[in-house]
Structure 1
Amino acid sequence: MKIGLVDDRMIDLEKLNGIISRIQNVEIIFSTTSAEEAYDQIKKETIDLLIADIEMPHLSGYELADIIHSHALNISVIFVTGNSGYAVHAFELNVHDYIMKPYTNDRLMKSIERLMEKSRSAELTGRLYLKQKNDIHIVQKKDIVFIERSGRATTIYTKEEEIKTYLTLNELEGELRERDFIRSHRSFIINIHYVKNFSLYAKNSYVITFEGLDKQAMITKEKVDFLQKYYF
């Protein structure tokens, strides 16, 4: 597990480093008092877990977690803070844990170990399980080209097949938090690796064509700008 640490107080950062360095199978990718530096690393998504203080100058830990959540980055978050006032907001951002200072070494170590165990015991990461009446359809996530919501039904497109499901895009978006997938439009989730071309459709939207598939999807201008900034 690759971990990033950020706390504007050096004494607290050193404590984090001391605890994390004793845990097996983890690597500290960065350890910084600068939330801006942490932000640059998050944009590259070089880590699996961010451990952050909340109240820091210029950019807060809460804002970093909000970036991770809103951009659906595959990064877990643990807040280590002296302020209990953000607990409800942390729950809304689906952070892994909220640890109050001062804390024991064991408290943080158990939280990280619990996250590692959760990752190991989760359903096979590369697969999506779709219940269809009496059957369970298993789809390799890497094979998904895009997903479209139309009416009350959702269609998952791969190069080989079209799979119908009654899961909503919000539900599927939660299952596809890998960096490969983005919500391109209110009715579409796309796999960026299959994108071939964007063609202007209207003032604020584009049509997407894909490699190896005749079907098309939609993307907003805002998401095209996002892709150009963070992916391409």
Structure 2
Amino acid sequence: MLTVGIVDDNQLDLDKLELIVAQIPTIELLLKANSAEEVYTFIQEKPVDLLITDIEMPGMSGYQLADFIHLNNMHTTVIFVTAKSGYAVHAFELNVHDYILKPYNQERLVQSIERFTTKKAAGKITGRLFIRSGGDLVVIPKAEIIFLERTGRTTTIHTSNETFETYQSLGELEGDIRESMFIRSHRSFIINLQYVKRFAAYSKKSFVVIFEGTSEKALVTKEKLKYLQENYF
């Protein structure tokens, strides 16, 4: 069961959200609020899986609320439902799942929630990666892999505990990592989306990927970032 909170200072818009989510059998609506302050207090005690929020509200804004969630690494994902388009780029920096503009139809929101549910279920990474390194066969739990980097003739595998080097190519290893959270972000990188904190501007054609668990960074192309926005965030 997916736990959900909704917040909007406009009562009609809030009632519309409630009507839509109430029709989804896999959802438990834990919180309905007219202010971000109320949500801020609630989720510190009982985080919800998914928060659907307006952005511009009196007092604390939905953007400030999402920023608090992001900075504190809370296990709550945000969908913005707003009449303002100007926050879209900044919202993506907070790893929000979706940015829906008012007025919207029911199908648009339902599809977004279903996509999040699918992503959440697929995000449970299992299995192990076997690599050849220095004459040894090394076994690495896939859930610990942050990203893979090709440099010259070797591939470096960055994990939450240590790094490994192998002469196996990214193409070879990509075939062994058939998990939805692993994405070929660049010709030289495969990244694990579960560890991504944010994407920072780097050049006209690429962005730097900043991770949790390591100070090392990867690259993602502009085209791949657009794909991630449309399908993952």
Same fold (TM over 0.5): yes
Conserved 8 A contact 2:123-2:194: no
1:92-116 per-position Cα deviation (integer Å, ceiling 9, x unaligned): 1110000000000010001001110
Conserved 8 A contact 2:195-2:213: no
SS for the counterpart of 2:124 is coil
Match among 163, 178, 181 for residue 165 of structure 1: 163
Q: Distance in 2 between matches of 1:84 and 1:41?
A: 27
Q: Distance in 2 between matches of 1:52 and 1:83?
A: 12
Match among 159, 181, 195 for residue 175 of structure 1: 195
Q: Distance in 1 between matches of 2:127 and 2:158?
A: 14
Conserved 8 A contact 1:51-1:77: yes
Equivalent residue, structure 1, for 2:42: 41
Residues 1:137 and 2:157 are matched in the alignment: no
Conserved 8 A contact 1:2-1:49: yes
Gaps of 5+ in 2: 145-155, 165-190, 198-211, 217-233
TM-score of the two chains, using structure 2 as the length reference: 0.59
TM-score of the two chains, using structure 1 as the length reference: 0.59
One-letter amino acid of the structure 2 residue matched with residue 24 of structure 1: P
Q: Distance in 2 between matches of 1:21 and 1:128?
A: 36
Greater alpha carbon shift after TM alignment, 41-50 vs 83-92:
41-50
SS for the counterpart of 2:59 is coil
Query: CA RMSD for the aligned pairs?
Result: 3.3
C-alpha displacement at 1:165, in angstroms? 2.2
C-alpha displacement at 1:130, in angstroms? 7.0
Equivalent residue, structure 2, for 1:100: 101
Return closer, same or farther for 1:71/1:186 CA change in 2, 3 Å cut-off.
Answer: farther
C-alpha displacement at 1:131, in angstroms? 7.5
Q: Distance in 2 between matches of 1:44 and 1:173?
A: 27
Q: Distance in 2 between matches of 1:122 and 1:184?
A: 17
1:133-168 per-position Cα deviation (integer Å, ceiling 9, x unaligned): 564511778xxxxxxxxxx99785xxxxxx5226xx
Equivalent residue, structure 2, for 1:200: none
C-alpha displacement at 1:129, in angstroms? 6.3
Conserved 8 A contact 2:52-2:80: yes
Q: How does 1:58-97 map to 2 (within 5 A)?
A: 58-97=59-98
SS for the counterpart of 2:162 is strand
Equivalent residue, structure 2, for 1:12: 13
One-letter amino acid of the structure 2 residue matched with residue 165 of structure 1: T
One-letter amino acid of the structure 1 residue matched with residue 141 of structure 2: I
Q: Distance in 2 between matches of 1:128 and 1:44?
A: 33
Return closer, same or farther for 1:132/1:62 CA change in 2, 3 Å cut-off.
Answer: farther
Gaps of 5+ in 1: 142-151, 157-162, 178-182, 188-232
Conserved 8 A contact 1:128-1:175: no
SS for the counterpart of 2:87 is helix
Q: Distance in 2 between matches of 1:104 and 1:118?
A: 22
Conserved 8 A contact 1:2-1:26: yes
Return closer, same or farther for 1:89/1:138 CA change in 2, 3 Å cut-off.
Answer: same
Task: Percent identity, please.
Answer: 43
Return closer, same or farther for 1:153/1:16 CA change in 2, 3 Å cut-off.
Answer: closer
